Structure formats: structure tokens, C-alpha cells
Amino acid sequence: MTTVPDSPTSTARQPIGTPATPATPAAPAAPVRSARHTALALAAVCLGFFMILLDGSALNIALPAIERDVHGSMAALQWVVTIYTIPLASILLTAGSISDRWGARRLFVSSLAAFTAASLLCAVSPNLTVLVVARFLQGIAAGGLLPTTLAIIARTYPDPIERAKAITVWGATGGLALVAGPIGGGALTELLGWRSIFLINVPVGLITLYLAQRYASETPRREARAADLPGQLTGIITLSAIVAYLIEGGSLGWLAPVPLVLLAVAVVTAITFVAVESRSQHPMLPLAVFRRAAFSASITNGFAFQFGGYGLQFMLAIYLQQQWGLSAEKTGVYFLPFGIAWVFGTIVLNRRLVHRGPRFLLWTGALSSFIGSALLLGVTDQSTWPLFAIGTGLTGLGCGVFSPSLNAAALLAIDPAYAGLGSGVLNTARQVGMAMGVALLGSLIGMHDTMLGLRVSVVLVALCFFAIIGLSVAYVPRKETA
């Protein structure tokens, strides 16, 4: 067994599982480029990031139309969403290693080309099976695309102040995708059909490819550690089996033979994953990082955020169309308070309150989301739309306030030498939370008693935000500086 340090917070120690190595030569400086070139490079990165997030938020609105067209069940709709997030979450930790070998721009361009091609395949899918396969390919491509965006920004903007501004633009892009997704997805579904949601990615992807190849700078290629294939494989199987159990259990019954087999597979592979990672020389997920309570709390917060924030959006989009009889376009309008409040919380409130430190932003934002989600317990028929608007608005506002601070809180709790690992673990936890939120909440909203399913789902979401409040107050440092 490889000896690992007791805590990843000591700067005097070598990275987990790696022998002492000679110092790596400094990377060459980024080439000097005009303001126009750097702006277009940033535009390419932001467009790629926008495509990944827009695809998911727009798809939630289009799911009932897909169900009617391909005659799928609720379980099938959940697979259309989760089959994207499973591979995305599973390869995030390895994508950084691939980026080291290939260069971030090269991986960005390759992944973007694959994402664009998979989007086209989604658009022309003749049946549900092809659509699910195409979504899986989209998820793999997104997993390679997402981690490269910040690396390209760091290369394009060597000055820390300019880099911080660029990252702010990058973060705001995600917020805009949350607003544009429901509105644009609803409008496209009503006017051109659900396939147009995927088809729009093709021209945008081609424009982004041109901008990235023409204006983005390549990052230095470095010798990277060997990929942890056994850990990667057991991790993917574990996650897939857990999500499959949640989806199929809600459809077939939690104690039916197929769900029980899936649960058994998940337990066995989870135990195997822990054993593999504890013995690997180059583990995909060094278990020692979780010995720091503050870091574990931050990772749990990331999981709870995606489970609650994105699981709620998926579940409510289904509910509005199936129970209130709304069109896709009107459903998008109903989500306006959620999206606009989220963007306002991110761009305005978070930036103005960032000097208070991540703990304050996390617990206050989560408190707003907790109150908003609790208000949704009073939603019944369409006459309760004001309560729906207020509840989703407060939930979105809180998510916008605290979500940008999740990464800061995680990095505060880990040695700077492990910053890349910490960010990778956090993003993986967030994607896993999203996959499990969609799976479980989708199963609950598909219950025979829809109102009971809605209320149980809302309670679970509220508990997620309440957990963020408690963990943040107990473990997250007050300030970003020691």
C-alpha cells in the first residue's frame, strides 16, 4: 500500500501517492496578444461553457415533448438527463491529466467538435435508444470540455487582475445560460420542436471552434501522471448503478428484482473503488483529502447544491407541464423568476458581499434557498402561481449568492498544492449531485400520488439547503485570507 500523508494541508509534503521529483521548468510565458485577440479567445471559452449549461437547462423544458414524440416513460426521461451527467462527472478528475499531455486548447477543440457532432446526432435521433446514446457521447465530450475553460483563461490572461475579470465574465455566462435555457428552450420547442434545442448547438459550435483555433493560446504540455483506469472504471460503474437504482426503483418498485440487483452492484463496486483508491500509487481520488473536515463539508455542500438546485428545476419543469397543462413556452416563462434572481444573486449580490468571506455567502444564500423551497410546499394548482414565483425566485436568488463561493470554500480547506485536485473533486461531487437529484426527484414526481411526490421532493430539496447552512457555519472558514 502506498503511504499517504496524514493531511493534504501541509505544504512541506509531496503530492499524495507521488515520489519526490525534480522541479519542473517554468512554463514559457504566454504570447503577447492584442485586446481583440484575448477578447475573442475569452468569447470562445465562454461560448463553449454556455453550450454545456444551456443544453441541460433548455432540455428540462423540452422533456414532455420528447416523451410524447418518442413515447418514453418517466424513467426514460430521467435517463435522457442523467446519461449526460454520469460520464461528465466520471471523467472530470482525469480530464486535467489529459489536458496536461495534450494541451488545454487541443482538448477544448477536440471535445467541442465531439459535443457538436453528438448534438447533431441528438437532433436527428430516430428513437429513444439513439437519443440516449447520443446524450452519453455529449456527456463524455462535456467532461473533456469543462475543465479546459479555466486553463485557457489563465493562459490568455497572465495578469491576475485581468484574469479575475475574465473569470467573472465566465461565471456570469453560466448564470445567463440558466435564464436563456428555459425561455429559449420553451420557445424553440413550441416553434420548431424539441430537436431544435440540439440543432442550435451545431452553428454555435462551429463558430466557437473557429474562434478557439484562431485566437486561443495553447497551454504548455507537461508530463502527467498515469491515469487511474481501475479507479475510473469502478467509479463509473458505482455511479451508474446508484443512479440506475434510483430511476428504475421509482419506476418498478424499490424492492423489485432489477433495482435490488443494481443496488447490490453499486455496493460491491463502491467497496472495490475504495479499496482500489487506497492502494493505487496514482489514485484518481486520493482518500486522504477527506480527512480534513472543512474540505469534506465543502464537497458535501457542492453535492447538496446541485441535488437541490438542479434537481428542483428538472422536477418542477415536468410538474408544470403534466399537472398544470402548460406549454413548453409558458413553462419557460414561469421559470423567469428563478433564472433572473439567480443571475442577480451571482452578478450583483455575490460581488458586493464577497468581502464578507465564503462562510457568510454560503449560509445566507442557502437560507434564502431554504425559505424559497419551503414556500413551494404550498404549491398545488395553477392558482398558486404567485407562491411558485416567490418560492422559485428566493431559491434562485440564494443559489446565485452562494454557488460562486463553493469553489472558494473548498480551496480554502486544502493545501494550495492540491488546488487542481480540490476543484476536480468539487466539480465531480456537484455533477454526481445533479445526476442523483434528477434520478430521485424524477422518480418521486412520477409517483401515482403526484402531490405527495411533489411535497416529498420539495422537503428533500429544502433539507439540502438546510444542510449547507449547518455545514458552512460549522466548518467553512470565515475569510479567504488566513
Taking only the tens place, the pLDDT of each residue in 262-272 is: 999 999 999 99
Residue in the structure block whose three cell numbers are 434557498: 369
Beta strands in 274-355, from DSSP E residues, in sequence order:
none
Per-residue pLDDT for 116 more than 50?
A: yes
**Most confident stretch, 51-65, 232-246, 310-324:** 310-324
Position 2 scores a pLDDT of 35
Residue 434 sits at φ, ψ, to 5 deg, of: -65, -45
Position 11 scores a pLDDT of 35
Position 225 scores a pLDDT of 62
User: Would you place residue 44 in the very low, low, confident or very high pLDDT band (cuts 50, 70, 90)?
Assistant: very high
The CA–CA distances, whole Å, from 106 to 46, 145, 173, 216 equal 16, 10, 22, 10
DSSP conformational letter for 391: H
Per-residue pLDDT for 391 more than 70?
A: yes
Which three-class secondary structure state does DSSP give residue 301?
Answer: helix
Count of residues for the chain?
A: 482
Position 425 scores a pLDDT of 81
Mean pLDDT within 349-364: 88
Where helices occur in 413-449 by DSSP H, the ranges are 419-445
The better pLDDT of the pair 336, 91 is held by 336
The per-residue b/e assignment along 200-212, b for 16 or more CB within 10 angstroms, e otherwise, is bbeebbeebbebb
Per-residue pLDDT for 93 more than 50?
A: yes
Rounded percentage of the chain residues whose pLDDT exceeds 70: 88
CA distance 320 to 68: 15
Per-residue pLDDT for 218 more than 60?
A: yes
Residue in the structure block whose three cell numbers are 428566493: 394
Per-residue pLDDT for 360 more than 60?
A: yes
Per-residue pLDDT for 74 more than 80?
A: no
CA 458 to chain centre: 20
The per-residue b/e assignment along 50-60, b for 16 or more CB within 10 angstroms, e otherwise, is bbbbbbbbbbb
pTM value > 0.75: yes
Where helices occur in 103-159 by DSSP H, the ranges are 104-123, 128-156
The better pLDDT of the pair 90, 138 is held by 138
- The region, left, alpha or beta by phi > 0 then psi within -120 to 50, assigned to residue 103 is left
The per-residue b/e assignment along 361-378, b for 16 or more CB within 10 angstroms, e otherwise, is bbbbbbbbbbbbbbbbee
**Most confident stretch, 107-111, 139-143, 348-352, 370-374:** 370-374
Cell of 394: 428566493
**Most confident stretch, 91-100, 330-339, 443-452:** 330-339
Instruction: Report pLDDT digits (tens) over 202-212.
Output: 999 999 999 99
CA distance 421 to 416: 10
CB 345 within 8 A of CB 192: no
Per-residue pLDDT for 406 more than 50?
A: yes
Instruction: Report pLDDT digits (tens) over 268-301.
Output: 999 999 999 888 877 777 787 788 888 899 999 9
Position 464 scores a pLDDT of 97
Instruction: Report pLDDT digits (tens) over 2-35.
Output: 333 333 333 333 333 333 333 334 444 555 567 8
